[in-house]
Structure 1
Amino acid sequence: MKFRVSTFGTLLSLVAVQLFAAEDYAVPRTEWDQPDLQGVWNFSSDVPMQRPARFGDRQFLTEEEIDEIRARQAALDAASDSALPIGGVDESYNDFWIENAGIGDIVRTSHLIYPEHGQLPPLVEGAIANQGVYGGGTTGESRPVRIAAGGIGTDGPEDRGLSERCIIGFNAGPPFVPSLYNNNVQIFQNRDHAVIMTEMIHDARLVPLYESAEDFPALDDRLTFWTGDSRGYYDGDSLVVVTRNFNGLSSSFGSSGTSADKVLTERFTLRSYDTVDYHFTIEDPST
């Protein structure tokens, strides 16, 4: 399985930022002449991960489709202002907890951009697919539970998803996957390291930096981690982070496969003072 995803982060807070028009934007540099990505970024998105079949290979919505979505959202917002019955108020979150990203002027039909049809590639024969359920249901699947949310039963904590046990955040990955809330990540940099800290589960990846991927020192295959082992390098104005040595106790992506053979490549590129272009590619021959 190999697929590529493109998404965008919007700057929430960054000190001493000079405002540039996008067309005249010059990427700021650190004192070590590296692209300065430091700050708190938000990766909320209302774009679906996989592309609805009706769009085929088309990556972007038309202006008419965008206007249609905006009108539909405005109607829903207006309807939500009316009084609602009190029943069911204890079953979910209030709307103000949810990060509705809204819709911009240029909108993708899916985050998934490879394969070209915007759908996840089929699983290889024998690959595990955890389904999981919320609440008290039982799926009949066996441990370990590799999915982030939901579970396979209620006989013990090991029957519940990884985010429910606060092991891995349901959106923190890696890679980052937009969800209902807590879609924030903070990046720190010094000469030799980058730190990528997510809001969900407060996980911080300490990424040592090298001249290129060819310079990464090999890590013993017996050393494995929940969020893998990340190494990075700068490619022009981009920070590239390659992560491998996952422990296999989480899924490869979503609810599919295991992470044991997964290689994740992330690319962070500043496009303007308030936008980071975030791409990730997953290569996993066993999933």
Structure 2
Amino acid sequence: MAPGVTGVPLLLSGYPVPLTARLLRVLMEGVVWPDQAEDDIIQSNVRRLRGGTMTTRFSASLLVLCFASASLGVAPSAAVAEAPTFDVQQWVMPRTPDGRPDLQGNWSNATLTQIQRAPGLGPILTPQQVAMMEGGAALGAQAGSAASDPDREAPPAGGIWTGNPLADGASGGTGGYNSVYIDGGTRVAVYNGQPRSSLITNPENGRIPPLTQEAMQRAAERRAFNSQFGEFDNPENRPLADRCLMSFGSNAGPPMLPNYFYNNNYTIVQTPDHIMIMTEMVHDTRIIRLGERVPMPEHIRPWMGDSWGHWEGDVLVVETTNLPTAQLNKHGYVYPGGSEQMKVVERFSRADESTINYEFTV
């Protein structure tokens, strides 16, 4: 895009949509940021790993898992505000030999929809807003796939910092030749035919609740303890993803959320007494026990916690407790400051041949 251009007309069902840089950032990042050159925003695709603070209950209902083989083109959706049409006469729920819904396969939760809702947005995106997000992703993918100039000048000393912590943290300000390894999603999340503005649906504002006084006290105590060490003094001072112990953000969960970067893929294997979910990012694997619950002792806290599942009709309900401290503090991203009593409840239900509906409550 030429310098000074403030928008790109995109067509969605006959509607010309002005793609303004500021509005695109609001839609895709979930927050209002200071103005930045539109080229920087579009070409970096403005995908940001969102964190936040919470200790109180919040939940989400979203279309989160789709077959990895599903179409992932970058053109704007043709009818984003219309409910998908499925012929219920043609699709029959696949079942395992013991009669349960078959959740097995390769799935992805890559999406443009952010965890938190941008201030001022309603819960459902308009067709124009969807076109801006998906059109911006298409432009970003196009720019990122362009051939590199072999005669380009070297980057300045210290690199180029975009202000996007996900991109800056991954490249250290050096950038990359192109985006061939990047796949943060090209579509907004659609649930019950509605394009969502955030993955969080409760509280009604779609935002992670603020910390309680108790959580702020725990955070202050952690900061005081960590202040005696340098950032690189010990491996324990580094994030779990740096050490390849856990996936980026909350990819592996619970809850299982997109990282807006790459490797948002999952493999599910199912038996009568266990569900296994392997995350492509860092290859974390959750093993969920089914049947009668036998809780782990309080002091045993494995990565991703102690997960127990049971069936409520055709819905798999998974309850997780005993999350480790390292996932509950600054390295947790989704629930920093959470107490050791935190509990996550997930619900998996097969919706059609290529969709699992995934809901979670923290």
Give the TM-score range, shorter chain.
0.7 to 0.9
1:105-128 per-position Cα deviation (integer Å, ceiling 9, x unaligned): 742100111111000011110315
Partner of residue 301 from structure 2, selected from 203, 220, 224: 224
Partner of residue 117 from structure 2, selected from 34, 38, 51: 51
Q: Secondary structure at the match of 1:231?
A: strand
The residue that corresponds to 1:127 in the other structure is 215
Give structure 2 stretches of 5+ with no counterpart. Answer: 1-55, 71-84, 160-170
How many pairs align?
257
1:12 aligns with 2:68: yes
The residue that corresponds to 2:243 in the other structure is 165
C-alpha deviation, 1:195, in angstroms? 1.1
Q: Greater Rg, structure 1 or structure 2? A: 2
C-alpha deviation, 1:219, in angstroms? 2.9
- Provide the alpha-carbon RMSD of the alignment: 3.0
1:244 aligns with 2:321: yes
Q: Structure 2: how far apart are the matches of 1:185 and 1:77?
A: 23
Q: Structure 1: how far apart are the matches of 2:328 and 2:230?
A: 14
Partner of residue 69 from structure 1, selected from 99, 115, 133: 133
The residue that corresponds to 2:273 in the other structure is 192
Q: Structure 1: how far apart are the matches of 2:148 and 2:243?
A: 36
Give structure 1 stretches of 5+ with no counterpart. Answer: 15-20, 132-138, 145-150, 283-287
Higher helix share: 2
Q: Structure 2: how far apart are the matches of 1:13 and 1:229?
A: 31
Q: Structure 2: how far apart are the matches of 1:259 and 1:201?
A: 25
Q: Structure 2: how far apart are the matches of 1:196 and 1:59?
A: 29
User: Which deviates more from structure 2 when the two are superposed, residues 119-128 or residues 67-76?
Assistant: 67-76
Q: Structure 1: how far apart are the matches of 2:322 and 2:219?
A: 21
* 8 Å Cα contact 2:295-2:306 kept in structure 1: no
The residue that corresponds to 2:264 in the other structure is 183
The residue that corresponds to 2:94 in the other structure is 28
C-alpha deviation, 1:78, in angstroms? 5.1
The residue that corresponds to 1:235 in the other structure is 312
The residue that corresponds to 1:147 in the other structure is none
The residue that corresponds to 2:179 in the other structure is 95
Q: Secondary structure at the match of 1:233?
A: strand
1:107 aligns with 2:107: no
The sequence identity of aligned pairs, in percent, is 32
C-alpha deviation, 1:173, in angstroms? 2.3
The residue that corresponds to 2:348 in the other structure is 268
C-alpha deviation, 1:245, in angstroms? 1.2
Q: Structure 2: how far apart are the matches of 1:121 and 1:207?
A: 28
User: Which deviates more from structure 2 when the two are superposed, residues 77-86 or residues 158-167?
Assistant: 77-86
Q: Secondary structure at the match of 2:205?
A: coil
Structure 1 residues 261 and 42 mapped into 2: Cα distance closer, same or farther (>3 Å)?
A: same
* 8 Å Cα contact 2:255-2:346 kept in structure 1: yes
C-alpha deviation, 1:142, in angstroms? 3.5
Q: Secondary structure at the match of 1:250?
A: helix
Q: Structure 1: how far apart are the matches of 2:316 and 2:293?
A: 15
C-alpha deviation, 1:23, in angstroms? 3.7
Higher strand share: 1
1:145-187 per-position Cα deviation (integer Å, ceiling 9, x unaligned): xxxxxx9712221211011112221222222121101111111
The residue that corresponds to 2:22 in the other structure is none
Structure 1 residues 236 and 188 mapped into 2: Cα distance closer, same or farther (>3 Å)?
A: same
C-alpha deviation, 1:258, in angstroms? 3.8
One-letter amino acid of the structure 2 residue matched with residue 44 of structure 1: A
C-alpha deviation, 1:257, in angstroms? 0.6
C-alpha deviation, 1:60, in angstroms? 1.3
Q: Secondary structure at the match of 2:180?
A: helix
Structure 1 residues 163 and 74 mapped into 2: Cα distance closer, same or farther (>3 Å)?
A: closer
* 8 Å Cα contact 2:59-2:361 kept in structure 1: yes
Q: Secondary structure at the match of 1:40?
A: strand
C-alpha deviation, 1:130, in angstroms? 6.6
1:210-251 per-position Cα deviation (integer Å, ceiling 9, x unaligned): 2xxxx4233321222222111101122221111111222222
Query: Structure 2 length normalisation: TM-score?
Result: 0.63
1:239-275 per-position Cα deviation (integer Å, ceiling 9, x unaligned): 1111111222222652621452211111111111111
Q: Structure 2: how far apart are the matches of 1:43 and 1:153?
A: 32
One-letter amino acid of the structure 2 residue matched with residue 3 of structure 1: F
